[in-house]
Structure 1
Amino acid sequence: MTVFHRNETREPLPDHLRGGVIAIGNFDGVHRGHRTVLDRALAVAAERGRPALVLTFEPHPRSVFRPDEPVFRLTPAPVKALILEGMGFSAVIEYPFDRTFSQMSASDFIRTVLIDWLHAAHVVTGFDFHFGKGREGGPAFLMAAGAEEGFGVTLVDAFRDESASVVSSSRIRHALAEGGIVEAAGLLGYRFTVAAEVISGQQLGRTLGYPTANMRLPGEVTLRNGIYAVRFRRADGTLYDGVASYGRRPTVDSNGEPLLETFVFGFSGNLYGEVCSVSFFGFLRDELKFDGLEPLVAQIRKDEEEARALLSGVAPLTDLDATLCF
């Protein structure tokens, strides 16, 4: 799948991507609510024999307007692209969101982005999508523009879960902050997944017989500190079960930066510099401070046993979950 970045040179889209069906949105999390929009776009594209594309915006608008309050990204751009590729989209267009773009009028957005650049044949978005300076463009504006300019528009209602509550990224962030890995997976429709480069650490785990692949997650991540049953995917797609610790390692380095440290079952090679992903299947316990390394190792053995038992009985939640985590 192509990940296409809009730039100031106005590089045109390749011919095979022009005239497509465009799903528009931020889609942070690509959760079940987002997928009602995305699935509709895929269906329209299939009916019309046109490419299906996603138009999204990087960075998250809140990071531009409130840089002192960075948002916890449920799906950073590389993970989002992986999910959208698994769904069947031909390309993801990451349009740079900055203050200059935020001042573009709704009419200019329609003309310069949707028509002149994308040559959109059809647009699919949520019922509450607003765009342009001061959010002047809304659903009625978009539909009127489509009727005038010759592209179709489909608006999709909010998706509600089995309890009739709207599925939102904020609900998922709250669940993850509480260690609600199973709840988050139910809202996402797949296991929560992060991706980062494997970095070197203190290598204490190696001396204890539990070497770990260490990752530094963005500082705005509010995942609950603790121990998790996970699946670890290498860049080549190889998948391993594992147990991971996220936090500050209170027994040995309570003042250190938060790290995600994964003991990868059955792997003994070098992963440094490799961008890998970790999918979370269950929260096992909170971080604890032990009185020395011996009780720490004893607890790690218990954590490994519990993680192996949990992971031995898991099944895919959805086709997308199967693509990411199985």
Structure 2
Amino acid sequence: MTTRAPRIWTDHAPLPEDARGGTVALGNFDGVHLGHRAVLGAAHAARPDLPLAALTFEPHPREHFRPQDPPFRLTLLPAKAAALGEAGCAHVHALPFDADLAAMEADAFCEAVLHRHLGARHLACGADFAFGHRRGGDIGFLSRWAESRGIGLSVVPPVTDAAGPVSSTRVRRALQDGYPERAAALLGRPWEVWGEVFHGDRLGRELGWPTANIWMGRHLEPARGVYAVTVALPDGSEAKGVSNVGRRPTLGGDPETRLETHLFDWSGDLYGQGIGVRLVRFLRPDATFDGLEALKAAIAGDAEAARAALLEA
């Protein structure tokens, strides 16, 4: 099974032959959690002689049908593809989810996408997978269609723990409740927010605590407050630090939620570069302070608490 970076396909253009004819795992794969990895593992185990591919959708169907919803994504496409690659995928087919695809009946989807476009030779999905217009295609339908085409199908039961089936919903709830370690247990790795570092107002530098700032954007907003974190840097190294998720109420408030991170024992220029901030431990809720000196003292205390938490993790 490959662990190299997968090739990402994002349109309906005809695929080269080496990107067709594989075993295809089906799903949204938001987060690429342990349940998703079980589907990928089953796809590979059924046909280890074939390249492993994942078929997913961009944007997430929920973003298409309910664009007014608050951001909820655990992984945007680059991070999702990277996680799928780590799980063995050679190809990630991020099918554009638009009005035409939403209106496609299940049988048309199977013929046009799975058969003609992907040339799938084996399929794998979770037991609750549904697809097609108004989710008209279920496991029974997919099984009958695959059999008629001589295509194998692996239906994978949920991965469960003491609290029930592992799901993206449970990961989101753990993060929103301030338990990144619970989310990490469900994901099999710490939850990470990727973003490009932007120029802020340099207040952190003036206070003696320079920060790398990224917008949360389309990512799920976890519990606002302070976290102990590790940071994936552009050169492939990792740093430790302390982050704040919020809208800076002490400084008048931001229109969007930002993730501000102070890196311990590190110096350099990250502006315009992408970093990945991995939440390890929630330390305290967001708060408003009476002036900059009080804020500075709070940051010092947060940094000390983050260092201690990272030693325990």
TM-score (norm 1): 0.90
* Contact 1:62–1:70 (8 Å) recurs in 2: no
* Contact 2:37–2:87 (8 Å) recurs in 1: no
Q: Percent identity?
A: 43
The answer to whether the aligner puts 1:36 opposite 2:38 as a matched pair is yes
Shift of 1:6: 4.1
Once residues 37 and 294 of structure 1 are traced to their aligned partners in structure 2, the CA distance between those partners, rounded to angstroms, is 52
Once residues 135 and 221 of structure 1 are traced to their aligned partners in structure 2, the CA distance between those partners, rounded to angstroms, is 25
Once residues 193 and 239 of structure 2 are traced to their aligned partners in structure 1, the CA distance between those partners, rounded to angstroms, is 15
Once residues 88 and 168 of structure 2 are traced to their aligned partners in structure 1, the CA distance between those partners, rounded to angstroms, is 22
Shift of 1:71: 4.5
SS at match of 1:62: helix
- Range that drifts further, 244-253 or 207-216: 244-253
- Range that drifts further, 35-44 or 73-82: 35-44
* Contact 2:71–2:217 (8 Å) recurs in 1: no
Shift of 1:44: 2.3
Shift of 1:125: 0.3
What residue number does 1:294 align with? Answer: 293
Q: 1:113 to 1:128 in 2, by over 3 A?
A: same
What residue number does 2:231 align with? Answer: 232
Map 1:60-99; keep pairs closer than 5 Å. 60-99=60-99
Once residues 253 and 11 of structure 1 are traced to their aligned partners in structure 2, the CA distance between those partners, rounded to angstroms, is 51
* Contact 2:73–2:218 (8 Å) recurs in 1: no
Shift of 1:133: 1.8
* Contact 1:42–1:89 (8 Å) recurs in 2: no
SS at match of 2:223: coil
1:2 to 1, 6, 14: 6
Shift of 1:126: 0.9
Map 1:246-261; keep pairs closer than 5 Å. 246-261=245-260
* Contact 1:62–1:71 (8 Å) recurs in 2: no
Map 1:138-217; keep pairs closer than 5 Å. 138-163=138-163, 165-217=164-216
Q: Which runs of 4+ in 1 moved over 4 A?
A: none
Shift of 1:17: 2.6
* Contact 1:122–1:151 (8 Å) recurs in 2: yes
Once residues 6 and 308 of structure 1 are traced to their aligned partners in structure 2, the CA distance between those partners, rounded to angstroms, is 41
Q: Which ranges of structure 1 fall in alignment gaps of 5 or more residues?
A: 315-326
- Range that drifts further, 253-262 or 173-182: 253-262
Q: Could you list the per-position Cα deviations for residues 34-69 of structure 1 after superposition, in whole angstroms to 9, with x for gaps in the alignment?
A: 2221221232242xx110010000101111111112
The answer to whether the aligner puts 1:54 opposite 2:54 as a matched pair is yes
SS at match of 1:199: coil
Q: 1:99 to 1:249 in 2, by over 3 A?
A: same
* Contact 1:63–1:70 (8 Å) recurs in 2: no
What residue number does 2:26 align with? Answer: 24
Once residues 114 and 70 of structure 1 are traced to their aligned partners in structure 2, the CA distance between those partners, rounded to angstroms, is 32
Once residues 276 and 220 of structure 1 are traced to their aligned partners in structure 2, the CA distance between those partners, rounded to angstroms, is 14
Q: 1:257 to 1:147 in 2, by over 3 A?
A: closer
How many aligned residue pairs are there? 309
SS at match of 2:226: strand
Once residues 219 and 18 of structure 2 are traced to their aligned partners in structure 1, the CA distance between those partners, rounded to angstroms, is 38
* Contact 2:11–2:94 (8 Å) recurs in 1: no
SS at match of 1:251: helix
Once residues 2 and 219 of structure 1 are traced to their aligned partners in structure 2, the CA distance between those partners, rounded to angstroms, is 23
